[in-house]
C-alpha cells in the first residue's frame, strides 16, 4: 500500500470505520479514494447522518467532497476522531493551500497533500489529547485549624474595660454646695430634690393658715415665712403645679 494512505500504527483498528461524503460528491473521487484501501472495511454515508454521533468514536475517517470549503466538515470530523485518529480527504477540484489552511484552523496536525489526476488528496492526524468537555476539578486547599486557633482567640469583653469605666457615674445634683443659697429643684430633676421640696411644702402647708391673706398674690405680697414663697400667683383654692409636682 502507498505510504501516503497507510494507516497509523496508533490506530486500534486497521480499517476505515466510516466514510463521510456529501450528496454532491463526485463518484470518481470516491472510487479513487477507495482504491487505496482495498482491504479495509468502510461505510458510505452522508455527513448529516453523524449529527447525533458520540464524540471520539472512530479511529479513521474520510471526507469526499466537491466543495472547495470543507471547513464545515473538518470541525465535526475532529470531534468524531479518537486521539491520534487519522483523517483522509479527497476533492475533485480544490486548492492544496486552502485545504491545509482549513485543516490547521480545525485543529489537525501532520498535514500532507498530494495530487492524482483530477483528484486532490489530503491527510491529517488528530493530536493525542481528548476534545471532550471535561468537568473542572479544583483542589480544595486544606485549612490548618491549629493556625486558626492562635489567630482567632475569643476576647472577653470585661477585659476591655478599665477601672475608670467601672466607676458608677455621678448624677448631677441640685443640693447647695459651699454654703450657697439653697437651690431649687430643676426641671426633670433626678436627684430627689423635687420630691423633697414637695414633701416640705405639703408638711408646712398642712396646718398653716395664711396670716396675711396674700399667699395667692405672689412673692411681692407674701411675708418672709410664707410656705408658698417662690410659687407663681394663683387663685385661692386652685391646684398649684410646682416643678411637675402637684400641691394644694
Please indicate if the annotation marks 166 as binding a ligand: no
| Domains, the chain, with CATH or none | 3-126 (3.40.50.150), 207-248 (no CATH)
Q: What is the dihedral of CA 101, 102, 106, 107, to 10 degrees?
A: -30
Please indicate if the annotation marks 11 as binding a ligand: no
Residues 179 and 182: their CA atoms lie apart, in Å, by 8
CB distance 58 to 17 below 8 Å: yes
Bridge partners of residue 63, in order along the sequence:
20, 89
In angstroms, the first-to-last Cα distance of the chain is 132
Please indicate if the annotation marks 174 as binding a ligand: yes
Please indicate if the annotation marks 115 as binding a ligand: no
CB distance 234 to 187 below 8 Å: no
Task: Please write the tens of the pLDDT for every residue from 40-88.
Answer: 666 677 766 777 778 888 888 888 876 655 666 788 888 888 898 888 8
Please indicate if the annotation marks 191 as binding a ligand: yes
Residues 197 and 189: their CA atoms lie apart, in Å, by 11
108: confidence class by pLDDT, cuts 50, 70, 90? very high
Please indicate if the annotation marks 223 as binding a ligand: yes
Please indicate if the annotation marks 85 as binding a ligand: no
The structure's pTM equals: 0.48
Please indicate if the annotation marks 214 as binding a ligand: no
Residues 17 and 15: their CA atoms lie apart, in Å, by 6
Helix (H) or strand (E) holding 112: strand 108-116
Length of the chain: 248
Task: Please write the tens of the pLDDT for every residue from 174-230.
Answer: 655 565 655 677 777 777 777 777 777 665 554 456 667 777 777 888 777 777 777
Amino acid at each position: 500500500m502507498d505510504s501516503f494512505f497507510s494507516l497509523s500504527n496508533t490506530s486500534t483498528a486497521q480499517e476505515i470505520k466510516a466514510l463521510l461524503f456529501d450528496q454532491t460528491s463526485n463518484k470518481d473521487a470516491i472510487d479513487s479514494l477507495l482504491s487505496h484501501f482495498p482491504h479495509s472495511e468502510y461505510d458510505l454515508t452522508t455527513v448529516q447522518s453523524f449529527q447525533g454521533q458520540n464524540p471520539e468514536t472512530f479511529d479513521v475517517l474520510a471526507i469526499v467532497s466537491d466543495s472547495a470549503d470543507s471547513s464545515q466538515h473538518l470541525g465535526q470530523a475532529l470531534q468524531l476522531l479518537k486521539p491520534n485518529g487519522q483523517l483522509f480527504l479527497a476533492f475533485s477540484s480544490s486548492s492544496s493551500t486552502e485545504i491545509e489552511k482549513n485543516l490547521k484552523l480545525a485543529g489537525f496536525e501532520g498535514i500532507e497533500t498530494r495530487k492524482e489526476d483530477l483528484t486532490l488528496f489530503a491527510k491529517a492526524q488528530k493530536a493525542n489529547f481528548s476534545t471532550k468537555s471535561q468537568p473542572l476539578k479544583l483542589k480544595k486547599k486544606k485549612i490548618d485549624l491549629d493556625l486558626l486557633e492562635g489567630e482567632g482567640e475569643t476576647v472577653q469583653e470585661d477585659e476591655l474595660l478599665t477601672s475608670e469605666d467601672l466607676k458608677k457615674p455621678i448624677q448631677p445634683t441640685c443640693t447647695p454646695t459651699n454654703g450657697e443659697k439653697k437651690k431649687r429643684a430643676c426641671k426633670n430633676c433626678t436627684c430627689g430634690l423635687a420630691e423633697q421640696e414637695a414633701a416640705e411644702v405639703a408638711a408646712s402647708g398642712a396646718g398653716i393658715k395664711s396670716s396675711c391673706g396674700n399667699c395667692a398674690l405672689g412673692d411681692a405680697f407674701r411675708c418672709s415665712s410664707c410656705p408658698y414663697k417662690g410659687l407663681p400667683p394663683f387663685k385661692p383654692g386652685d391646684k398649684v403645679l410646682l416643678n411637675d409636682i402637684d400641691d394644694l
